[in-house]
Chain A
């Protein structure tokens, strides 16, 4: 298939439709508005349903109802809206409902800014709402990768009966890039006999997250935890870029990793520094092993987490490295994207032992 030039938000929306998603419930917020706008145009053409809810809270609960009724369904928002959706996400985890949530992160806290940020990392990787849970969380670095991961996001949501988050940022949503769209899904969507309104079932369906007996609630949590162990063993995705024999290991995800890739090339040319990059593609489950293995190489002097935040993923990097090498953090926040020059300055500081 020929490449087409598409805006990230629109490409993600189209990829969802190609993956068989036919239900979308959302609410406007910058910088993700092209997703609901695109869905409102496309869904009626493919026999799907687009509905603009009265709030993010309502949108995620519509998604809950549609997922509970067996549909392939998604919503999208940006940071303040994702905070509002946390209630419904927690309930969906409790009721083990498959659904996909896109978060095009903007600066926070509060209304923050509307520019790209990665300051929702804690929220995305530690559950986000109340209770003991995790979301499978993809952090694509470019539009092509986002498009390629969309189908996988829906498939894993179904496979594990757990919500999946696509963690982008304002840059990924707004950037226009050439992209090869995947083929439309041909195979039928997986049957969901547990869902409401399904044919050929002997018992009635109950979609529920209430376990009033604490022993039953603990058992439910233990079952979820077992599921998360399987996900941790099987679903980690990571890219290593020139990590072998590197002097410094940079850990960066999403669009931030792209800036770091350019900085790594320039570091070699201008500073004579060999900078390797570990790029988590799933930020949960986190590629602890890949980060550790890159860090403990004898050549490596330091490990740096570079983020568009005040330092969130660096906690995971420290867990991964576990004291084997010095770990530091560099980042800018509030919607400010670190430039190649910013990163080079920081790396040269490490080289000089600052």
Chain B
């Protein structure tokens, strides 16, 4: 019988622990497929974050490291300096990358560290149960902003792609979304471009992927996709922010 579809060999058979409707699964598959298609999966080294993707080392079928919270870009830097010929990537959430790991990502980007970062932005701390993230929207209700994010008290969302694109080190930065099929296809193209920039030795690359968290947003998966499109994209516009 002809095989019309096959799971990429770059994902293990371990069942995902992600909540139903969460888009992490889609993003994992896109990254894995790209590694496979670029022919670098066998030798790639991935770095998992602390957060919802903490178990990513169980899913990506390559050498993996689990870093301390926010430190994945530093950890990836160490690995890349030891193995400059191998593809090294981090997979991080918004709390990990834009809050506790803000210094590590900024300086990895500034150094033009030849790594690729997949930045999954769902505007909330998922793993710990729905606390306010650096990317939570003004007015967004979370367990630590029960009256809605008050910008007078806790400021404004951090737009990482825009920030990092001001540096000279990054070679490719794009923000994408996975809220519908068309955008999933675009997200994959962006992820491929980012890894290609690393393979070509151009510098740091990052794809920010807007993602849903139905569980902690308190929505159905369908409502969450719609909320992402209507609320997150105006705050976090999609597009290429840096291409060298």
Contacts and interface: CB of A to CB of B under 8 A. Distances in A.
A208 B74 contact: no
Given A64-B75, A65-B74, A206-B57, A197 B82 contact: yes
Nearest to A73: B78
Contact of A58 (B47, B66, B104): B104
Contacts of B80: 65
B75 A68 contact: yes
B62 A61 contact: no
Given A54-B107, A65-B47, A69-B83, A23 B78 contact: yes
Nearest to A71: B82
A58 B81 CA distance: 14
Taking each of B81, B86, B107, which has the highest tally of chain A beta carbons within 10 Å of its own beta carbon?
B81
A197 B107 contact: no
A95 B54 CA distance: 15
A105 to B, nearest CB: 24
Q: How large is the interface on A (under 10, 10 to 19, 20 to 34, 35 or more residues)?
A: 35 or more
B77 interface: yes
A89 to B, nearest CB: 10
B20 to A, nearest CB: 20
Nearest to B81: A49
Contacts of B194: none
Taking each of B61, B66, B106, B107, which has the highest tally of chain A beta carbons within 10 Å of its own beta carbon?
B66
A55 interface: yes
B68 A66 contact: no
A128 B141 CA distance: 38
Contact of B78 (A66, A204, A206): A66
B68 A67 contact: no
Interface string A25-59: 10000000000000000000000010101110111
Nearest to B111: A51
A97 to B, nearest CB: 10
Interface string A261-290: 000000000000000000000000000000
B81 A66 contact: yes
Given A54-B104, A55-B103, A204-B62, A196 B74 contact: no
B64 interface: yes
A88 B71 contact: yes
A250 interface: no
A314 B61 CA distance: 51
B79 A65 contact: yes
Taking each of B47, B57, B65, B66, which has the highest tally of chain A beta carbons within 10 Å of its own beta carbon?
B65
A91 B65 CA distance: 11
Contact of A64 (B62, B64, B67, B106): B67
Contact of B45 (A61, A88, A197): A197
B12 to A, nearest CB: 9
Contact of B63 (A49, A55, A197): A197
Contacts of B104: 54, 57-58, 61
Contacts of A204: 61-64
Interface string A181-199: 0000000000000001100
A206 B64 contact: yes
B82 A61 contact: no
Interface string B76-116: 11111111001000000000000000011011000000000
B68 A196 contact: no
Given A197-B43, A204-B64, A208-B65, A58 B82 contact: no
Interface of A: 23, 25, 49, 51, 53-55, 57-59, 61-71, 73, 87-88, 91, 95, 196-197, 204-210
Interface of B: 43, 45, 47, 54-55, 57, 61-68, 71, 74-83, 86, 103-104, 106-107
Give the 8 A-B residue pairs with the shortest CB-CB distance, closest first.
A65-B78, A66-B78, A61-B74, A65-B75, A196-B63, A61-B71, A69-B82, A54-B107
Given A25-B78, A61-B68, A204-B64, 6 more contacts: A62-B81, A65-B67, A68-B65, A73-B78, A196-B65, A204-B62
30 contacts: A25-B78, A51-B81, A53-B107, A54-B103, A54-B104, A55-B103, A57-B104, A58-B74, A58-B103, A58-B104, A59-B74, A61-B104, A62-B74, A62-B78, A63-B78, A64-B75, A64-B78, A65-B47, A65-B65, A65-B74, A65-B78, A65-B80, A66-B82, A69-B45, A95-B65, A196-B65, A196-B79, A197-B82, A197-B86, A206-B64
